[in-house]
Amino acid sequence: MDEKIRTLLERVKDEDGYLRAERLMEFDLQTVCPENEMSREGELIAEVEKQAFMVRNGEGFVRDVLDLYKSRDSYDEEARALIERRYRIYLSEKNMTDETSHRHSLIEQQAYADWSVAKENKEFSRFSDSLKKVIGINRERIELREKGDDENFECGYDILLDRFERGVTVKDLDILFGEMKDRLTVLLEKIKNSNKRIRTDFLSIRVTNEQQQKAADFIKELMGLDPKRSSLQVCTHAFSERIDRDDVRLTTYYMPYFFLSNVYSILHEGGHSLFELLSPYEDSDFYIYDNKTLGMHESVSRFYENVIGRSREFIDFVYPEFKKIFPQVFKDVSCDELFEAVNYVAPSLIRTEADEVTYPLHILIRYELEKAIFEGDLKVSDLPENWNRKYGEYLGIVPSNDAEGVLQDVHWSSDFGYFPTYSIGNFYNAMYFGRMKKEIDVGSLVRSGDLKSINKWMQDNVFRKACRLTPKEWIKDITGRELTCSDYMTYLEEKYSRVYEL
């Protein structure tokens, strides 16, 4: 190995030790930390983040990155990805001091604690001051971000988007989301006018936590999640966290009157976990494991949750097991009725529980609000009113309180620019699903419960280069085509025309 690369890897290893500790504490904070300790644990996390910041912004570290960046094209794929990633981090932090970074971390940790209390009490006012500070540090990120030679940011919000989906801009999203909105509006109107009636009463029959645990274990095993490399915990907000290459943790939550929430949370978070567990070990060796973008990640989680998990073939396979686990639910429910129920379309308030057709409208609302904030057209104090208005306009329903409205998501306690990646992920997975169907018999594999063969195709074609290419390069490498929302919209139109007999 080149000596310069070896030296840089040793420096990154030091930083990564702090980052692993931070991820462990973040997982603790969001799962078992008592409410009264959240602020103090947040302060500890901020201190660990500060140490990591100081390592990667040390004089020798920066010197090595800049020197290697000049000759990056002479290195192989893994080393070049490492160099380019470290250079992007350098650009984002070049003009930031460790005091500034630490202050940002403290604000984010306090904002998370304030958001938790505000949501529990359904009062936006308990979070608004922290939200103003979070918006302020995101404006600072925009101002302090050094522009690279090959970067083309046309507005400040582009910089925030780039943190989560490299190379995707407002200009791109306006085009993609414009087509999506136009076609979704037509499809949703057709569904509303359909005479098809779908039975959903059985979905709200009470189930026990023990039954939910059995279902969670069944889905986790079906997905092929290695129990020696992954764990499952119950908390109030489902998420997954990569601690290390052999330590991926996912969480779910149990709703006693809606057992499907747990099932699809496992499928979603399990998808994230598979992406980490089945990526090349070399990605960890070269510390580029977190070079995946959130759009890539969401493409995988939503692929397992929706494209596979809501397919007829998947329901055919799980139906007999669900009848055993939830006898009180399925005593008079057919497989056909379960399939239709998991694909039932109805506007709802909560993004994470939304159906496939209306889900993108939840993302569109958040995207438009974020843009308005950073274009200076929307004040924090006006957020709840604008949120409710858009829900009324796009989905025909209005939240009755802030917890089911503007406070429902944790994201704004730290970041802006994240939400669009959920829809971008849908665009990606519809594109590579088209190729997958041409190469393997997806339906037969899923109907027989063989998700491991699906995982293998994903590992070979989707996961393999995710940490080494930009998103636009990655999707073109998989499909030979440029990013488009057309495949996704066609998928929705064809599927729901069958479900609703349009």
Q: Could you give the residue numbers annotated as active site?
A: 269
Query: Is the CA virtual torsion 58, 61, 64, 66 positive or negative?
Result: negative
Query: Which tokens in the block code for residue 408?
Result: 């429902």
Query: Which tokens in the block code for residue 121?
Result: 């009490």
Q: Is 473 helix (H, G, I), strand (E, B) or coil?
A: helix
Question: Is 262:250 a contact under the CB 8 Å cutoff?
Answer: no
> What pairing do the DSSP bridges indicate for beta strands 230-234 and 247-252?
parallel
**Residue whose entry in the numeric block shows the structure tokens 């064809």:** 494
Other beta carbons less than 10 A from residue 376's beta carbon: 8
Distance (Å) of CA 117 to CA 36, 51, 122, 124, 234: 10, 29, 8, 10, 19
Angle at 61 between CA 58 and CA 65, to 5 degrees: 135
Query: Radius of gyration (Cα) for the chain, nearest Å?
Result: 23
Query: Which tokens in the block code for residue 139?
Result: 């404006």
Q: From edge to edge, which strands make up the β-sheet containing 240-244?
A: 230-234, 247-252, 240-244
Burial of 388 from C-beta contacts in 10 A (0-12 / 13-18 / 19+): middle
Q: DSSP string spanning 224-257?
A: T--TTTEEEEE-SS--EEEEETTEEEEEE---TT
Query: Is the CA virtual torsion 20, 23, 27, 29 positive or negative?
Result: positive
The 3-class SS string of 158-224 reads HHHHHHHCCCCCHHHHHHHHHHHHHHHHHHHHHHHCCCCCCCCHHHHCCCCHHHHHHHHHHHHHHHC
Task: State how far the Cα of 322 lies from the Cα of 327, in Å rounded to an integer.
Answer: 8
